[in-house]
Structures are given as C-alpha cells and as structure tokens.
C-alpha cells in the first residue's frame, strides 16, 4: 500500500551526497556530473518540502532532517542490496575490465590475470593502459599501476605486499571509483595481487 514515495533516483543522489558531504564526490561515485546531483537533491528537497543540506561556502552540512534521514535511507539501500544479491547471483558477479599499466605488467606474472581461477568470476577482460580517465568513462573498472599519483576523487589502494624494493622500485597501486573500492570484485583482485607480489618478492 505504498503511496507517493519520493523520487527514488533522487534519494540515491541524496544518499551518496550525504555520505560524502560533497556533490562532486557523490557525482563521481554515481558516474554523473555534480550538476546532476545538485539538481536531483534539489528536486528531492522540493518534493519533501524540507531542506536536507545546508550549503555553506566551505561545503555541505546536513540539516537536522538530513541527519535523521541519511542513516535510514542508507539502511534501505543496504537492505535492498542484500535482498537483491540473495536472489540474483548475477548481480554479484558483474565482471570487471581491468586496466594494467605496462610497468605493472612487468612485475605481474605473464598474462595475469588470465588463468587465475579465483578471478574468473570477477574479471571480464584486461587491457594495457595507463589512462586513469578510462575509469571515469567506464571503459575500465579499475587500473593497476606503479606509483600513486594524484587521482582526484578516485580511490587509491596500495597493494599491501608490494613495498618498494630493489627489484620493485615503485609500489603497485589499485585505482578505481570510490564506490567500487569495497566491492567483491575489488577485494578478489586485490587479494590475488597480494598473493602474487608476495610470491614474487
């Protein structure tokens, strides 16, 4: 008997923006522009008749209402994700396209990640590239490269066991959208990288 819910996509924009306290980062997580987030959040606020954010020059703050709303909305999305993964195994296994910079490829075993059974479920393809922009354009889901330059709002994860040594003068890094840093796919790939770099050093 649900009736007159707020716009669901606008809720998603709100949830991400409130989590980051930044429209720009929310935009990056959801793969749209900040203007789109701004518009969606405004639309939500108008439809609710309540301000959710205080826009300060220094950035965003949640209003009391936003503060109350955020955890509940986050929970709703979590419940939704859980329910969905329970019935739709396919959603778990969206396969990643991996970008590998050529210097990182030198360190990794030949043809990695092919023939890695444990990754088969998580990896669709891999290409050689060093272009971080391809993450933003969704051509690749993550990029493995040497060294951790500044990637703006992208998530940057250092491969734990790949500390700089004589043999490996720079550290392996894993770059992806912030929203993807914690997902199964990333975890599996990172785990596999960790094993490899350990056994190599």
Interface residues with a copy of itself (CB under 8 A)? 1-6, 8-9, 11-12, 15-16, 47-50, 65, 68-69, 72-81, 83-84, 86-91, 94, 179-183
If contact means CB under 5 to 8 A according to the sort of partner, which of a copy of itself, DNA, none does residue 128 touch?
A: none
Q: How far is the CB of 134 from a copy of itself (least distance, A)?
A: 18
**DSSP character string of the chain:** ----PPPHHHHHHHHHHHHHT-HHHHHHHHTS-HHHHHHHHHHHHHHHTS--EEEETTEEEE-HHHHHHHHHHHHHHHHHHHHHHHH-HHHHTPPEEEEE-HHHHHHSPTTTTTT-GGGTTTEEEEEE---THHHHTTS-SEEEEES----TTSEEEE-TT----SS--S-EEEEE-GGGTTSHHHHHHHHHHHHHHHHH-
Residue 28 sits in the site that holds DNA (CB under 7 A): no
Please give the residues from 32 up to 91 whose contact with DNA meets the rule CB under 7 A. 32-36, 38-43, 55, 57-60
Measured from the Cβ of residue 115, the count of other Cβ atoms closer than 10 Å reads 10
Q: Return the residue of 6, 19, 24, 156 that touches DNA, per CB under 7 A.
A: 24
If contact means CB under 5 to 8 A according to the sort of partner, which of DNA, a copy of itself, none does residue 158 touch?
A: none
Q: How far is the CB of 9 from a copy of itself (least distance, A)?
A: 6
Residue 31 sits in the site that holds DNA (CB under 7 A): yes
Both structure tokens of 71: 């955890």
Q: Which is nearer to DNA, 60 or 100 (CB)?
A: 60
If contact means CB under 5 to 8 A according to the sort of partner, which of a copy of itself, DNA, none does residue 72 touch?
A: a copy of itself
Under the rule (CB under 7 A), what is the footprint of DNA? 7, 9-10, 13, 21-24, 27, 30-36, 38-43, 55, 57-60
């Amino acid at each position: 008997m649900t009736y007159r819910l707020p716009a669901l996509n606008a809720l998603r924009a709100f949830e991400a923006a409130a989590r980051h306290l930044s429209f720009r980062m929310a935009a990056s997580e959801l793969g749209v522009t900040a203007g789109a987030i701004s518009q969606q959040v405004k639309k939500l606020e108008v439809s609710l008749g309540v301000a959710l954010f205080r826009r300060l020059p220094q950035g965003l703050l949640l209003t009391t209402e936003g503060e109350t709303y955020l955890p509940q909305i986050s929970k709703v999305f979590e419940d939704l994700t859980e329910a969905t993964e329970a019935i739709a195994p396919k959603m778990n296994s969206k396969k990643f396209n991996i970008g590998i910079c050529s210097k990182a490829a030198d360190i990794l075993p030949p043809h990695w990640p092919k023939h890695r059974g444990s990754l088969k479920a998580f990896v669709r393809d891999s290409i050689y590239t060093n272009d971080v922009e391809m993450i933003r354009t969704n051509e690749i889901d993550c990029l493995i490269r040497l060294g951790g330059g500044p990637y703006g709002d992208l998530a940057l994860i250092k491969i734990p066991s790949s500390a700089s040594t004589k043999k490996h003068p720079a550290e392996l890094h894993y770059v992806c959208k912030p929203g993807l840093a914690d997902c199964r796919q990333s975890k599996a790939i990172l785990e596999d990288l960790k094993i490899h770099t350990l056994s190599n050093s």
